[in-house]
Amino acid sequence: MELFKKVYWLIYPLLIVVFILISEKVFNVENTVLSTSIAVTLSFILSPRVVMIDKQNGEEEQIKWLFFKKVINKEL
């Protein structure tokens, strides 16, 4: 979990690259604009969301992801 807290921001660009490769290699989409727009949309939907929460002991980042049931708290 500590590794995910440190590198969660890398998931969005990695998902874009993976979806572009899938659309070009598997589905043979020749149009780069269409391939990129589909990849960006899918990666935006599947990437983690970060919300800043004010608490008594200071601000915290909460990381919510579609694949995790729990909310991950990260103190600043």
Tell me phi and psi for residue 26, to 5 degrees: -85, -50
Which helix (DSSP H) or strand (DSSP E) does residue 73 occupy? Answer: strand 72-75
Q: Does the pLDDT value for residue 75 go beyond 70?
A: no
Per-residue model confidence (pLDDT) at position 42: 95
CA atoms of 58 and 54, how far apart (whole Å) = 6
pLDDT digits (tens, 9 = 90+) for 12-60: 999 999 999 999 999 998 899 999 999 999 999 999 888 888 888 888 8
Does the pTM of the predicted model rise above 0.75? Answer: yes
CA atoms of 49 and 64, how far apart (whole Å) = 5
Minimal CA–CA distance to 16: which of 41, 34, 51, 50?
Answer: 41
